[in-house]
Structure 1
Amino acid sequence: MNFELTFEQQLLQDSVARFVEKDYGFEARTALVKSGSRCDGRHWATFANNGWLAAALPEAQGGLGGTLLDTVLIAGQFGRGLVIEPFLGCAVAAAQTLLAGATPAQRDALLPALADGSRRVALAYSEAGTRGLPAPIATCAEATAGGYVLNGTKTLVLGGTEADAFVVSAMHGGELRLFVVRADTPGVTCRAVPLHDATWAAEITFDIAAVPGDALLGEPGTGLAALQHGLFQATAALCAELVSAMDKTIEITAEYLKVRKQFGVPIGSFQVLQHRMADMAAETELARSMLYALLATVETGTPDDVQRTVSQAKSLVGRAAKYVCGQGIQLHGGIGMTDEYIVGHYFKRAVVADALFGNADLHESLVAEALQHSLNNERVQA
């Protein structure tokens, strides 16, 4: 895989970086959080007008025809600014699941509105018992004369509080199927859930929620694969966020060590603190390399390779982010613990990110299982 950015990709990255620097400084973000906003409409309009919502959607449905790399470039810059708008949940997880699971006619009907920002759709797949994995699930759909009836509860629905509709996974006919459910459907209840990093999720309850027949997405046998595709894309974007958060934490901490003095000298001159900064930099580079490996595998690997590498990335990058951002707080001392100072907010994001799409321990166990299965197959073949 060629990791050199094209001219267009460099322009894309630079445009997002300018937005974050100009409109999403820490003071502006703090004011937005204190206002209770869950998604600033002006910012979402900026995302749409600049094509960031459409970056990885097909041109035929109003997108720009980009790839996962474009999504990662955008998410990375959003990670530096700790952007609270639900780009990850709506523009990546939900949009990519729709793209993978919908029929051509459904794509034409649904994706253009996501690309231009006129509609927001959130992915409702996680349940209390799934630990962030797509299956097995308890939510079920039953066929009726006019369509389907859904029953169940979904948790940690990113962007769900502001969504016009949800992509919902449910068991129907013995397999996982996807449904597009309007937020105002009778029987659908949305409870807002504030997260530790100032972002919001939702708990969605479906209590005999009736939906029409055309709410069912795609063809039989495609639901699980489409959902996995959306989660793979979202996990890569989240890893990019965290790598950039680590970069920013190191930058902030390095600057602090230059100006904070003890015994008449900058504390950055103390060798023990230099060693800790070196450890932070090493962990960040390992995480960046893991992200590159994930991007390469998504482009060229088999489905099993992609699944294994996604789990490896989620585990390694998540743990590295908590370590690096936690060290940033430690090196700042008491001020790093306050909400009025930025460095602690990167650690909060790392903690929340670990809980999304399955935590580090879960994905590490999935990697171990995959390796054990591979070893067993080799023994049988031998």
Structure 2
Amino acid sequence: MDFDLNDEQKMLQETVTRFVAETYDFQKREHALKTPEGWSREAYAGLAEMGLLALPFAEEEGGFGGGGVEMMIVMEALGRGLMVEPYFATVVLAGGVLRHGASAEQRADIVPGIVAGEHILALAHSEAGLPRHTLMARATASSTDDGWTLDGRKIAVIHGQSADTFVVSAMTEAGLSLFLVDAAADGVTVEGKRGYDGVPVATVAFAGVNVAKEALIGSPGQGEDILSRVFEEATAALVAESVGAMVETFDVTVDYLKTRQQFGIAIGSFQALQHRAVEMLMQLELSRSMSILAALSLDIDADQRSRNISAAKAQIGKSGRIIGQEAVQMHGAIGITAEYKVGHAFKRLTAIDALLGDRDWHLARLVEKRGVYPVAA
């Protein structure tokens, strides 16, 4: 696939890649994970100072109006650094709900804080007992004279422990709907946890939480349409992050093959390991091409967009596993130690595969749609 960035995109790529390389090494990541919140406010403030938190939001709201390619560039760089800060949770996922469904008043109230790095927004959608990637919910929102009352329990809320506001999905008489809920509201309880990749997640319970009418995002029953669009953009972002993690894993592995000595020579001189490194590179390039396809597909018609994004997510699920396994095996025991980057990258690649539909889920969707480019019967 032939793809050239324009001058502004090249500048963005150089800037964010340099920022991550110079300010967010593996030791800083490890330190961030050991803090109570599980991420670095200082690093997140750095992203805000560079304007990266403003990237996808409209210019009239203090953003830069960036598109899929710009988001791909940023997410790939963050993936290389294995950054655990709430960029995906706040800017991409929950922020996507604001961009596609919130009123001008709602965006004006929240977006400036997000752009400044001072407001953490988290999507509370997944629930126990439901399919991992679904538009269904059991949480309910009952209409009252002056607003809504929410009841339900959400799991795997990314960066939920640090959230100032939740975007909550709940069923109304009209169908799935979305609401803005203050994390400090009466009836909201948050239990912080960690995913197996170290990223902070939370279980959030809503027990008779009263919110104003203005807390509704869009119209009652519009939640499914909003989330469908947001999940596609978020999936493309995850694909790009995965590519960044693959690049870092590949580079670290190649450096190790060049320096690790066995029988008096570098193990990278062994042909069998060279072949395995080439396989890693092939999987990386396949994933990079699919990441570009996903980014470029965000503005095309809905049916083909969903096909392309599912194809990209399925590919990185396969490639991430191959690259991660090969990296660990070629490193030997050091590859799975807590003090070494490779094992952490593999965990993140595995987590990304599970998020927003794993490889099997997206392959099943492609089968249902008769492939990426179906031929008319």
TM-score (norm 1): 0.93
Deviation at 1:32, TM superposition (A): 2.3
Match of 2:52, SS? coil
Q: 1:165 to 1:343 in 2, by over 3 A?
A: same
- For 2:6, the equivalent position in structure 1 comes to 6
Name the aligned partner's letter for residue 6 of structure 2.
Answer: T
Matched, 1:83 2:50: no
Q: Residues 153 and 205 of structure 2 are in contact (CA less than 8 Å); yes or no, is this contact kept in structure 1?
A: yes
Deviation, structure 1 residue 10: 1.9
Q: Which residue of 1 aligns with 2:96?
A: 96
Percent of residue pairs bearing the same amino acid type: 38
In structure 2, the partner of 1:21 is 21
Structure 2 alignment gaps of length 5 or more: none
Letter in 2 for 1:176: L
CA positional deviation for 1:221: 5.1
Secondary structure class of the residue paired with 2:72: helix
Q: Where do 1:181-220 residues align within 5 Å? A: 181-220=181-220
Tell me what 2:138 maps to.
138
1:373 to partner: Cα distance: 12
Aligned twin of 1:323: 322
**Where in structure 2 are the equivalents of 1:94-243 lying within 5 Å?**
94-220=94-220, 222-243=222-243
Q: In the TM superposition, what whole-angstrom CA distance separates every residue of 1:245-299 from its partner, at most 9, and x where no partner exists?
A: 1111111111111111212111111111011011111111111111122122212
Please give the alpha-carbon distance, in whole angstroms, between the structure 1 residues aligned to 2:219 and 2:138: 21
Indicate whether 1:369 and 2:358 are aligned: no
Match in the other structure for 2:304: 305
For the pair 1:48 / 2:48, whether they are aligned, the reply is yes
* Within-5 A mapping of 1:238-253: 238-253=238-253
1:69–1:372 Cα change, 3 Å: closer
8 Å CA contact retained: 1:99, 1:111: no
Verify: 1:339 aligned to 2:314, yes or no: no
Structure-1 separation of matches of 2:36 and 2:60: 37
Pair 126,32 (structure 1): closer, same or farther in 2 beyond 3 Å = same
Q: 2-side partners of 1:332 and 1:354: how far apart?
A: 23
Q: Which moved more, 1:111-120 or 1:74-83?
A: 111-120
Q: CA deviation at 1:227?
A: 1.3
Shift of 1:220: 4.3
Alignment partner of 2:254: what SS?
helix
Contact 1:152 1:207 in 2 (8 A): yes
- AA of the residue aligned to 1:8: E
Q: Does 1:349 find its partner at 2:338?
A: no
Partner Cα separation in structure 2 for residue 3 and residue 103 of structure 1: 36
SS of 2:297's equivalent in the other structure is helix
Deviations 1:193-238 (A, max 9, x none): 2111221111111111111110001134532222122211211111
The answer to whether the 8 A contact 1:103-1:219 is kept is no
CA distance in 2, matches of 1:337, 1:76: 23
**Take 1:25 and 1:351, find their aligned partners in 2: how far apart are those partners?**
21
8 A contact 2:236–2:294 mirrored in 1: yes
Distance 2:142 2:310 in 1: 33
Distance in 2 between residues matched to 1:268 and 1:365, nearest whole Å: 39
Q: Is the 8 A contact 1:125 1:134 kept in 2?
A: no
TM-fit CA distance, 1:129 = 3.6
TM-aligned CA distance change 1:65 to 1:373, over 3 Å: closer
User: In 2 relative to 1, CA 46–293 (structure 1 residues): closer, same or farther, beyond 3 Å?
Assistant: same
1:136-192 per-position Cα deviation (integer Å, ceiling 9, x unaligned): 211111101121011111121112111100111111123111100110111111111
Gaps of 5+ in 1: none
* Partner Cα distance (1:161, 1:37) in 2: 7
Q: The residue matched to 1:371 in structure 2 has which SS?
A: coil
**Distance in structure 1 (CA, Å) of the matches to 2:196 and 2:234:** 19
Matched, 1:359 2:342: no
CA distance in 2, matches of 1:249, 1:158: 24
Counterpart of 2:104, as a letter, is P
Partner of 2:191, secondary structure, is strand
- Distance in 2, Cα, partners of 1:254 & 1:196: 26
Shift of 1:87: 0.8
Q: Count how many residue pairs are aligned between Structure 1 and Structure 2.
A: 377
1:4 is displaced (CA, Å) by 2.1
Give the superposition deviation at 1:361: 1.5
CA distance in 2, matches of 1:150, 1:233: 27
Q: In the superposition, relative to structure 1, how do residues 374 and 22 fare at CA in structure 2: closer, same or farther (>3 Å)?
A: closer
Q: Tell me how far apart the structure 1 counterparts of residues 229 and 3 of structure 2 sit (CA, whole Å).
A: 22
Deviation at 1:12, TM superposition (A): 1.8
Q: TM-score, normalised by structure 2?
A: 0.95
Structure 2 SS opposite 1:363: helix
